[in-house]
Amino acid sequence: MSTHSTRLAARFMVAPSVLVLFIWMIVPLAMTAYFSFRLYRLLSPDRTGWVGFNNYVWFFNSPDFWLALTNTLLLVGGVLVITVVLGILIALLIDQPVKGQGVLRILVIAPFFVMPPVAASIWENLFMHPQNGLFAALARGLGGQPILFLEQHPLPSVIGIVAWEWLPFATLIFVTALQSLSSEQLEAAEMDGAGALSRFRYIILPHMTRAVTVVILIQTIFLLGIFGEIFTTTQGGPGSASTTLPYMIFKQAIVAKDIGRAAAGGIIAVILANIVAYFLMRGIGRHLDA
Amino acid sequence: MGKIQLTKVRKSFGEVDVIPGIDLTIEDGEFVVFVGPSGCGKSTLLRLIAGLEDTTSGVIDIDGKDATNLPPAKRGLAMVFQSYALYPHMTVRKNIAFPLKMAGMDQAEQDKRVARAASVLNLSSYLDRRPGQLSGGQRQRVAIGRAIVREPAAFLFDEPLSNLDAALRVGMRQEISELHQTLKTTMVYVTHDQVEAMTMADKIVVLNAGRIEQVGSPLTLYHEPRNKFVAGFIGSPRMNFIDGAEAAKHGAHTIGIRPEHITVGDGPWEGVVGLSEHLGSDSFIKVEVPGLGTLNVRGPGELGVHHGDRVKLAPAGKIHRFDAEGLAI
Ligand SMILES: Nc1ncnc2c1ncn2[C@@H]1O[C@H](COP(=O)(O)OP(=O)(O)OP(=O)(O)O)[C@@H](O)[C@H]1O
Ligand SMILES: [Mg+2]
């Protein structure tokens, strides 16, 4: 159907939107790049002049930077593992025909509608709080000491909160994938002697690879920029224990009021995102093709 | 060995009795076809035998052993689905080998069996393709291949040819018949295509609303239908049924005459031709006869009769007689 002339016409038609999208992307990126090479401190009078790579060098020399980089990757990776594994398990469960399936599904996706700072506050004050939290009450009930989640395990706590928020999204995608699996395939496998585990391993899981890929790609995009949950709960601390790259940029821009350094951090974050995207597409991108 | 015996098998979905109670024996090595109108419970009955549905009550024996509560895998049966139900992410080879792998068979034996099945079914050159890269007929053969490698006690087919075009259907029909002659394994085959039923079956089971109307060889059903339903269901075009005075002459409530048992030319009945279809080998005409209704007539190909002609008809063959309940007299 794609004759030469229709392809040409198609190119003409998409050209304006491609152009707009390109400008939309390139202007902020170019401005960030521009500021990243400038001295631009809001709190000091000298805010002019080129400084070369000084802003970048500051980042690379800062001990916090490598910690923030590791934290960012740990956060993304940890949330992905939890949401994919639990998401598949929950999807398998709520795909079973049970009474009140509709209500059950709404309950499962509900956390997705809670705004990040609200979710983080709920977890901080109602669950993880060392005096009033549910976990502390449980620990005391079992005769133990309350765990100081945000003080002693700040990053795992943040990972837990973010995973709780994103679990519904993963579950939702996995449920729709499960529903598109023909029941005859499962019945055929059953007749072929596959038990429940084999059916999961050989029929259900391969059927879901594309859904898993989509979940990983979409979540990675959003998780690389997680900020609100950290700001609400740990503020990147204690010390810098739960500081991520976006949080470090925030500290430079808003706390230290150094726009130049923040811009350099922004460019580093963009490069990091592209590296991650490159490896993701190489690793699992082929599952997106039919 | 594949003798299957159903005793008072009943199945209901909630309130609805889909199968109110069936007794049926399928002998070892037999080719049994279930036919019946849509929704009469053919698939349900097959799935009960397969173990994909639980019986509400009754007993299913396979090879003399009670299999009523056995899971599908333990019954030693293989099923071919209407949609083929191939595993899309596996190659043809892996699809066919899947039941063997699940049975924990060693790799060499698996390869041997897959190769043998592939050569029987002409699939050898497609073994490394995926189901998505095959034609409908080839997919059908893969599904059959996956069934035969297990060397099951019996094969269950649920309308396996209904997704194929007419020419391919004839070819596959013959292939399945030949397969049955080679393997001599029991086959239970569901269809609503009566040509398939007549040509393939050793024994046809006619179902209606979950009940067995008649069990018998194809020709028994054709020549001696037990009631009006079977008489009308077997045979194409449909048997003509005539009530009233004409039936009373034969001492019956209703009489039935097959279209091929009416001759055009001279005779006691006269009417106007409505529809006429000329197939070359045969001619099908519908004749409006006052007092009798519309009669289907099957004549020779060179029958030169057209819409609007007046023709005379005569019964020339067996007249089936039915009482008020529709049972054959
Ligand atoms: N899971 C189910 N729940 C409720 N009713 C069902 C279920 N499966 C089948 N039925 C009903 O049982 C009856 C028999 O269905 P079945 O699929 O056996 O028909 P069939 O003879 O195979 O028809 P077809 O020729 O159209 O495939 C139908 O009336 C159907 O609506
Ligand atoms: Mg059916």
- What distance in angstroms lies between residue B78's CA and the mean position of ligand 2's atoms? 17
A23 close contact with B: CB closer than 8 A: no
User: CA B329: distance to chain centroid?
Assistant: 26
**Average pLDDT of the segment spanning B43-57:** 92
Measure A89 CA to nearest chain B CA, in Å: 22
Question: Tens of pLDDT along B236-271?
Answer: 889 999 988 888 888 899 999 999 999 998 888 999
Contact criterion met (CB below 8 Å) for B239 and B255: no
Residue nearest atom 22 in ligand 1 by C-alpha distance = B43
Per-residue burial over A74-86, b = 16 or more CB atoms within 10 Å of its CB, e = otherwise: bbbebbbebbbeb
Q: CA A56 to CA A50: how far, in whole Å?
A: 13
- Taking CB atoms within 8 Å and a gap of at least 24, the contacts of B320-323 are B320/B225, B320/B231, B320/B239, B320/B255, B320/B256, B320/B257, B321/B247, B321/B250, B321/B251, B321/B252, B321/B254, B321/B255, B321/B256, B322/B227, B322/B228, B322/B231, B322/B241, B322/B252, B322/B253, B322/B254, B322/B255, B322/B256, B323/B252, B323/B253
Confidence of residue B303 (pLDDT cuts 50, 70, 90): confident
Write out chain A residues lying below 8 Å of B82, CB-based: 184
In this structure, whether the domain defined by A55-287 belongs to CATH 1.10.3720.10 is answered with yes
Question: Does the pLDDT at position B58 exceed 80?
Answer: yes
CB atoms within 10 A of CB B277: 11
| Structural domains of chain B, with CATH | 4-230 (3.40.50.300), 238-322 (2.40.50.140)
SS3 state at A257: coil
pLDDT score at B171: 87
Q: Which residues pair with B320 in a beta bridge?
A: B256
Confidence of residue A140 (pLDDT cuts 50, 70, 90): confident
Question: Does the pLDDT at position A14 exceed 70?
Answer: yes
Atom of ligand 1 nearest to the CA of B47: 18
Domain ranges across chain A = 55-287
Write the DSSP assignment of B37-105 as a string of letters. Answer: STTSSHHHHHHHHHTSS--SEEEEEETTEE-TT--GGGGTEEEE-TT----TTS-HHHHHHHHHHHTT-
User: Within 13 Å, how many C-alpha atoms sit on residue A225's CB side?
Assistant: 8
Structure-token pair, residue B237? 């075009």
Q: CA B294 to CA B266: how far, in whole Å?
A: 18
Question: Does the pLDDT at position B175 exceed 60?
Answer: yes
Q: Which residues line ligand 1 (CB under 6 A)?
A: B 13, 18, 36, 38-44, 192
pLDDT score at A2: 65
Partner B, chain A 153-192, Cβ-Cβ below 8 Å: 182, 184-185, 187-192
What percent of chain B clears pLDDT 70, i.e. is strictly above it?
A: 100
Question: Does the pLDDT at position A289 exceed 90?
Answer: no
CB contact under 8 A, A188 and B81: yes
Question: Does the pLDDT at position A237 exceed 80?
Answer: no
CB atoms within 10 A of CB B16: 8
SS3 state at A107: helix
SS3 state at A54: helix
Asked if ipTM goes beyond 0.85, one says no
Cα angle vertex B137, ends B131, B141, to 5°? 70
> Beta strand B31-35 with B77-80: parallel, antiparallel or unpaired?
unpaired
Q: CA A171 to CA A90: how far, in whole Å?
A: 7
- What distance in angstroms lies between residue B173's CA and the mean position of ligand 2's atoms? 18
Spatial strand order of the sheet with B254-257 comes to: B240-243, B254-257, B320-322
Q: Which helix (H) or strand (E) holds B312?
A: strand B310-315
Q: CA A65 to CA B273: how far, in whole Å?
A: 94
B327 close contact with A: CB closer than 8 A: no
CB contact under 8 A, A184 and B83: yes
User: CA B318: distance to chain centroid?
Assistant: 25
Mean of all residue pLDDT scores within chain A: 88
What percent of chain A clears pLDDT 90, i.e. is strictly above it?
A: 38
> Beta strand B186-190 with B31-35: parallel, antiparallel or unpaired?
parallel
> Beta strand B186-190 with B310-315: parallel, antiparallel or unpaired?
unpaired
SS3 state at B117: helix
Partner A, chain B 100-139, Cβ-Cβ below 8 Å: 102-103
pLDDT score at B146: 92
CB atoms within 10 A of CB A131: 7
Confidence of residue A290 (pLDDT cuts 50, 70, 90): low
Confidence of residue B225 (pLDDT cuts 50, 70, 90): very high
pLDDT score at A73: 93
Q: CA B96 to CA B111: how far, in whole Å?
A: 10
Question: Tens of pLDDT along A166-222?
Answer: 999 999 999 999 999 988 999 999 999 888 999 999 999 999 999 999 999 999 989
pLDDT score at B43: 92
Least confident of A122-126, A142-146, B54-58: A142-146
CB contact under 8 A, B78 and A191: yes
Q: Which residues pair with B77 in a beta bridge?
A: B154
Question: Tens of pLDDT along A27-83?
Answer: 999 999 998 888 888 887 777 788 888 888 888 888 888 999 999 999 999 999 999
Question: Does the pLDDT at position A1 exceed 80?
Answer: no
Q: CA A256 to CA B206: how far, in whole Å?
A: 86
pLDDT score at A202: 93
Write out chain B residues lying below 8 Å of A207, CB-based: 88-89
Residue nearest atom 28 in ligand 1 by C-alpha distance = B39
Contacts of B170 (CB under 8 A, 6+ apart): none
Q: Which of A192, A207, A289 is the best substitution to test chain B (most B C-beta atoms within 10 A)?
A: A192
- What distance in angstroms lies between residue B222's CA and the mean position of ligand 1's atoms? 27
Residue nearest atom 3 in ligand 1 by C-alpha distance = B13
Write out chain A residues lying below 8 Å of B79, CB-based: 187-188, 191
> Beta strand B254-257 with B320-322: parallel, antiparallel or unpaired?
antiparallel
Cα angle vertex B112, ends B110, B114, to 5°? 65
Which is more confident, A287 or B185?
Answer: B185
Q: Which of A191, A197, A199 is the best substitution to test chain B (most B C-beta atoms within 10 A)?
A: A191
Q: Is B248 left (phi over 0), alpha (psi -120 to 50) or beta?
A: alpha
